[in-house]
Amino acid sequence: MTDIFVGDVASCRRSFLLVVSIMRGDAILCPFVGASELRHRADLDLRWVDLADAHLTVPDMRLRAIPCRKRLGSLTRIGTVRPSLLALAKQKMIQEINQNDSFGLRRNGYETIRTARIKSQGPLTSPR
């Protein structure tokens, strides 16, 4: 098993995912989706350089900044992304979490637990 770090691109079954955060053996991930899928407000367009750095073989993909969680053991590292793309993905993900705040916590002056955890992760790059 290879080590997985924040900023890595990993595969799990038939999907490609960006590791945004790691907590207690779990990874918080954002999926890469094909350009043929319907556009979502949380989608980030990628340049061909980003796709090449990530070692993604599909030419037209977008990053969907909607978080999901998977066990680290189920992931296989295939590439990495630039720190600026990781920062943009985190920023877009936090915006999406805040827009989907169904309990109104943000409007009452509280951060959601997920947003607070993501913000408290420290630097955007991890030592290798």
**What pTM was estimated for this model as a whole?**
0.75
The Cα 118–Cα 114 span in angstroms is 6
pLDDT at 87: 92
β-strand partners of 89: none
pLDDT at 38: 86
pLDDT at 118: 56
pLDDT at 53: 85
pLDDT at 10: 92
Average pLDDT of adjacent 10-residue blocks, the chain of 128 residues: 84 90 88 88 88 84 89 90 91 84 52 52 48
